[in-house]
Amino acid sequence: MRVFVTGATGFIGSHVVRELLDANHLVLGLARSDEAAKALIAAGAEVHRGNIEDLESLRTGSAAADAVIHLGFNHDFSRFAENCENDKRAIEAMGAVLEGSDKPIIITSGTGMGNKAPGDCATEDHWNRNHPNPRAASEFAANAILERGVNVSVMRLPQVHNIEKFGLISYLIPMVREEGVSFYIGDGLNRWPAGHVTDVARLYLLALERAEKGARYHAVGEEGVSMRDVAEVLGRSLKLPVKSITAEEAPAHFGWLAMFAGLDMPASCAITRKKLGWNPAGPGLIADLEKMNCAV
């Protein structure tokens, strides 16, 4: 297949592109800059110039492909709600082009959309339409194009990591350095799910090749890693003290991350494993944090 990939030169996208090419698919990667275009050419992919806010570039890229993997997202969290609405528009634009065909499109969301209540393990067969996270907009868009017959599925991501990147924890590391203390909230037993980037990339390939209309998948290698364990490994790695703070103190230390830092949001991947025969084998989050590049 010729696969149009948004976010093709990003952390996860570059690994997905490699998986697709290794499986003998052709890749048409979205590139907003000359640097991104060069990276795609070097990887062996074709280049489609544009960006995720240029809806016409998304339409033409989707029309030129046999399938779409939508990974592109603006991670400027000062504009998070706005960026989530932009993602909704991007999904709707690509879906309009795919309507009337059986071409698959995989869109990206977060595992939190599968949590029935705080602390409950998120599952693939649940969609919390009332979730306060603005990222719910992506799944509303997916559902809208599904109702129009588009062959859409949803990949829900946890904290995706290797020894260089760690999802939201990557943003926490410079905060910890600046504070000189590694913090967690309360008892720190709230959990975040995680997945190694190589496992996540392989799952996108499996989901593409076995496209199931309306399916939701969880790219979860670990159901829940406690934030106290995260704080402790950061303290060890950076040679800093570790301290508990109250929820009221969190905004002063975590900044915009405070909205996530105290959440307990474990997630299961049991349905995903069964449907796609996926068996994550990469290192765990704590293991990667122990080996992290200290220049991160």
Domain ranges of the chain: 2-160+195-220, 164-193+223-268+282-290
Residues of the chain falling short of pLDDT 70: 294-296
User: What's the predicted TM-score (pTM) here?
Assistant: 0.95
pLDDT at 129: 84
| Residue 296 pLDDT | 57
Q: Which CATH architecture has domain 2-160+195-220?
A: 3-Layer(aba) Sandwich (3.40)
The residues facing 153 across adjacent strands are 106
CA distance 223 to 235: 23
How far is residue 111's CA from residue 216's CA, in Å, rounded to a whole number? 10
**CATH architecture of residue range(s) 164-193+223-268+282-290:** Alpha-Beta Complex (3.90)
The pLDDT tens digits for 229-287 are 999 999 999 999 999 999 999 999 998 899 889 999 999 999 999 999 999 999 999 99
Check residue 119 and give its pLDDT: 82
Model pLDDT, residue 118: 78
Q: What is residue 294's predicted lDDT score, i.e. its pLDDT?
A: 59
Q: Is 289 helix (H, G, I), strand (E, B) or coil?
A: helix
Give the sheet arrangement for strand 26-31, strand by strand.
Answer: 46-49, 26-31, 2-6, 67-70, 104-110, 151-157, 216-218
Domain 2-160+195-220 and domain 164-193+223-268+282-290, same fold? Reply is no
* 55-56-57-59 Cα dihedral, nearest 10 degrees: 90
